């Protein structure tokens, strides 16, 4: 199978290596020439593609000569308006149709669900007015609308593991919300999940993909601090005020996928 990865980043690069090990022909995109050269030295076929939100340089057509297109580019909500990411996706949608790509995987996030102290499922009604992340929600809709290709939308939770340690981000901070349940997934399982979709032909679906265990943030942060030797948060929000959501992965578990890291308290990290 020929697979193109739009976004050879923190998740896309290990995914490329994993898919190659499984016998697939893989190429991908990166936004800089320097990283392109680094990737090629590692044996990853890479092309330069920078969407700001439309292509800044000549578009490498060979990137879209593929059986499966995997799209994993962050929406950059802190830096860009909500319209920015959908414009990126609109360009990619046009390329998909132009090159008649048969299958597409789009990485969204569980942030599309608002936080209303609820259990969130794929069947929940969402709209442009009620979503927690308009950029991702509108991008999803662009890809679903009148499509001529197979599409699966993956809503990952917080991508962690290896060098991403949740407790480190809150080390020493004051008034940290500690009561919300976490919705995390280890990078290893995220990579395995994408391969599982391809191997099991799980097309034309939306999946919440997160570890099935949901300890509260305080428990995770305190364990990270103890295990890794950095200070825990200095204080926690009292009384608890931040709204929360717990993401259900029941639909995903029914596909037969088995997590290596079902419990965020057992995630492995690199220092």
Cα–Cα distance, 153 to 155 (Å, whole number): 6
Is 167 in a helix, a strand, or coil?
Answer: helix
Strand partners, 27: 4, 45
Cα–Cα distance, 195 to 235 (Å, whole number): 40
Task: Specify the higher pLDDT residue, 32 or 62.
Answer: 62
Is 47 in a helix, a strand, or coil?
Answer: strand
Cα–Cα distance, 176 to 129 (Å, whole number): 28
Q: Two tokens at 174?
A: 């004051």
Residue of 72, 73, 96, 87 whose CA lies nearest to 146: 96
Q: Looking at the predicted structure, is the pLDDT value of residue 136 above 90? A: yes
Q: Looking at the predicted structure, is the pLDDT value of residue 139 above 80? A: yes
Residue of 203, 230, 240, 233 whose CA lies nearest to 219: 233
Q: How far apart are the first and last CA of the chain?
A: 35
Cα–Cα distance, 104 to 85 (Å, whole number): 17
Q: Looking at the predicted structure, is the pLDDT value of residue 5 above 90? A: yes
pLDDT, tens only, 147-193: 999 999 999 999 999 999 999 999 999 999 999 999 999 999 999 99
pLDDT, tens only, 96-121: 999 999 999 999 999 999 999 999 99
Ordered by where they begin, the domains of the chain are 2-165+184-213+246-266 (3.40.50.720)
pLDDT given for residue 78 in this prediction: 79
């Amino acid at each position: 199978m020929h697979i193109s990865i739009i976004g050879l980043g923190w998740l896309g690069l290990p995914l490329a290596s994993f898919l190659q090990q499984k016998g697939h022909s893989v190429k991908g995109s990166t936004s800089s020439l320097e990283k392109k050269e680094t990737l090629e030295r590692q044996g990853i076929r890479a092309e330069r593609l920078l969407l700001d939100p439309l292509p800044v340089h000549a578009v490498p057509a060979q990137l879209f000569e593929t059986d499966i297109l995997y799209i994993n580019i962050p929406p950059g909500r802190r830096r860009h308006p909500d319209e920015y990411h959908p414009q990126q996706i609109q360009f990619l949608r046009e390329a998909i149709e132009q090159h008649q790509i048969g299958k597409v995987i789009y990485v969204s996030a569980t942030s599309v669900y608002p936080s209303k102290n609820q259990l969130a499922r794929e069947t929940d009604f969402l709209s442009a007015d009620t979503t927690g992340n308009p950029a991702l929600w509108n991008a999803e809709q662009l890809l679903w609308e009148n499509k001529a290709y197979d599409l699966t939308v993956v809503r990952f939770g917080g991508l962690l593991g290896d060098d991403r340690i949740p407790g480190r981000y809150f080390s020493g901070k004051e008034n940290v919300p500690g009561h919300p349940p976490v919705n995390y997934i280890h990078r290893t399982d995220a990579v395995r999940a994408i391969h599982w979709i391809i191997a099991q032909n799980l097309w034309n679906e939306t999946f919440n993909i997160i570890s099935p265990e949901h300890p509260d943030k305080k428990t995770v942060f305190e364990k990270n601090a103890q295990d890794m030797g950095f200070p825990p948060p200095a204080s926690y929000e009292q009384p608890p005020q931040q709204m929360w959501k717990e993401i259900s992965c029941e639909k995903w578990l029914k596909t037969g996928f088995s997590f290596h890291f079902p419990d965020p308290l057992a995630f492995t990290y690199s220092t």
